[in-house]
Amino acid sequence: MLLLNAHPDHNRPLDPADADMLGLEAARNVERFLAYRPNHSPTPLLALPHLASQVGVAAIHVKDESQRLGLGSFKALGGSYAVIRLVLEEASRELGRTVDVNELQTPAVREIAERITVGCATDGNHGKSVAAGATLVGAKAAIFVHSGVTDERVAAIAQFGANIIRVEGTYDDSVAEAERICHENGWIVVSDTSWPGYERIPGLVMQGYTAMLQEALRELPAPPTHVFMQAGVGGLAAAVAGHFDIVFGTVRPKFIVVEPDRAACLYQSATAGQPVRIEPGAPTIMAMLECYEPSLVAWRILSRKADAFMTVSEENAADTMRQLANPGGRDPAIVAGESGAAGLTGLLHALSSAWVKLGLDSSSRIFVINTEGATDQARYEAIVGRSPSDVLA
């Protein structure tokens, strides 16, 4: 399904606060912070010329986040970055001077970090990022996981020493519970979704993602004409749409938000013309996108800068995972997790009428992000039929 953005705010300039949050100076600062992360190296930008010619476009480029910071998804950039920023802010307050990232491991800053607990709800990847950030700075983490989070994903978070708190219900239930318990205990909520009165920290999380976009922009041979970006609460999609709007201005690429049929809260919000909460339905294999209410900040940006909203089926998402694992021609194999391939699925499975509406043709240059690798290896193998190491061998 495809819906062109007919919101009255479509193409309005970004809110000044959002433009600051996602601007070039902020992105440079995130990259400076990243340099202090162990395991940091830019992730690859992969060209798929064979697939592009098969599909009938000029180019497809995939920013492959499957190895990011050893955590397996782009989420490694956001939650950890926000935790580091918050600890430095607290240290600056307590020490009465500006404390920079190069002081992160000094005894004075460590001592302050040890008194801090950060908490969040997660489908898996964001919680791992927050827990990893807490370990890095010496803070504590409480991570709230709902019933649908698989044991493998929980174990990947627990390895960072986080306190795992299980919550009955959906992702949205875990967000509410995390907020309640963190508030009761004086812990800092580091959420990747935002709501009225709680925007700054999710904004930092989104700001963290801009580093990935700067890396990609340095390598792209030509500006993209179309971006297909998967969305859960919309934080990633909004960070990309907002940052690209700032970088490219009036010649920005067309921006298409892609969600699972089964959890399309942004699509439904676009239909309603305002952010709406949708009823939970059957679970989707795109587990990281299984969100039923958009992030408020993300909606504010996407209602202005998304050009279309579309949904993809379970089968199509699985097809794309297999297609990326078994490329044609000389295209590289890519390990894309269930949610990782969803953006590209939007392009590959768009009906021809959608192509016309989106202005896609043989001159189009597509940019997508493989947002995660095999973060749940058992599920990956069940869908693709091979292990990630076999795929890359």
Ligand X SMILES: Cc1ncc(COP(=O)(O)O)c(C=O)c1O
> How many secondary structure helices (H) and strands (E) does the chain include?
17, 11
Determine the interface stretch with ligand X among 21-29, 287-295, 304-312, 344-352 (rule: CB under 6 A): 287-295
What's the min distance (Å) between Cβ of 302 and ligand X? Answer: 10
What's the min distance (Å) between Cβ of 94 and ligand X? Answer: 31
Nearest-10 crossing angle of helices 200-219, 24-34:
90
Which one among 278, 288, 354, 384 touches ligand X, defined by CB under 6 A?
288
Residue 126 sits in the site that holds ligand X (CB under 6 A)? yes
- Please give the sequence-ordered ranges of beta strands (E in DSSP) within 75-146, or none if there are none: 117-122, 140-146
The strand pairing partners of 372, in sequence order, are 73
Residue 310 sits in the site that holds ligand X (CB under 6 A)? no
What's the min distance (Å) between Cβ of 265 and ligand X? Answer: 10
**Backbone Cα Rg of the chain:** 20
Helix (H) or strand (E) holding 125: helix 125-137
Say which of 123, 192, 245, 331 is annotated catalytic: 123
Task: For the beta carbon of residue 249, count every other beta carbon within 10 angstroms.
Answer: 8
Please name which of 71, 94, 68, 99 lies closest in space to residue 84, comparing C-alpha atoms: 99
Say which of 18, 63, 64, 75 is annotated catalytic: 75
Please name which of 77, 85, 73, 169 lies closest in space to residue 124, comparing C-alpha atoms: 73
Determine the interface stretch with ligand X among 9-17, 140-148, 224-232, 307-315 (rule: CB under 6 A): 224-232
- Active-site residue, 123 included: yes
Task: For the beta carbon of residue 94, count every other beta carbon within 10 angstroms.
Answer: 14
Q: Is 290 exposed, middle or buried (0-12, 13-18, 19+ CB in 10 A)?
A: buried
Q: Which is nearer to ligand X, 134 or 336 (CB)?
A: 336
143 phi, psi to nearest 5 deg = -115, 125
Determine the interface stretch with ligand X among 85-93, 121-129, 219-227, 354-362 (rule: CB under 6 A): 121-129
Please name which of 344, 374, 369 lies closest in space to residue 124, comparing C-alpha atoms: 374
Please name the amino acid found at residue 81: Y
What's the min distance (Å) between Cβ of 3 and ligand X? Answer: 17
Residue 129 sits in the site that holds ligand X (CB under 6 A)? no
HSE-up (13 A, CA, CB side) for residue 77: 32
Handedness of CA 381, 384, 388, 393 (dihedral sign): positive
- Please give the sequence-ordered ranges of beta strands (E in DSSP) within 198-305, or none if there are none: 226-230, 254-260
Over the window 75 to 114, marking each residue x when it contacts ligand X by CB under 6 A and - when it does not, the resulting string is x---------------------------------------
Residue 340 sits in the site that holds ligand X (CB under 6 A)? yes
What's the min distance (Å) between Cβ of 191 and ligand X? Answer: 10
Q: Which is nearer to ligand X, 364 or 371 (CB)?
A: 371
Q: Are strands 59-64 and 45-47 parallel, antiparallel or unpaired?
A: antiparallel
Which one among 215, 290, 307, 372 touches ligand X, defined by CB under 6 A?
372
- Active-site residue, 63 included: no
Give the number of residues in contact with ligand X, rule: CB under 6 A. 21
**Angle at Cα 232 formed by Cα 188 and Cα 66, nearest 5°?**
90
What's the min distance (Å) between Cβ of 21 and ligand X? Answer: 14
Which one among 178, 233, 258, 310 touches ligand X, defined by CB under 6 A?
233
Over the window 245 to 274, marking each residue x when it contacts ligand X by CB under 6 A and - when it does not, the resulting string is ------------------------------
Q: Which is nearer to ligand X, 87 or 206 (CB)?
A: 206
Q: Which is nearer to ligand X, 91 or 366 (CB)?
A: 366
Please name which of 322, 324, 314, 309 lies closest in space to residue 370, comparing C-alpha atoms: 324
Determine the interface stretch with ligand X among 14-22, 110-118, 137-145, 234-242 (rule: CB under 6 A): 234-242
Q: Catalytic positions, please?
A: 75, 123
Instruction: Provide the binding-site residues for ligand X, judged by CB under 6 A.
Output: 73, 75, 123, 125-126, 192, 230-237, 288-289, 291, 339-340, 371-372
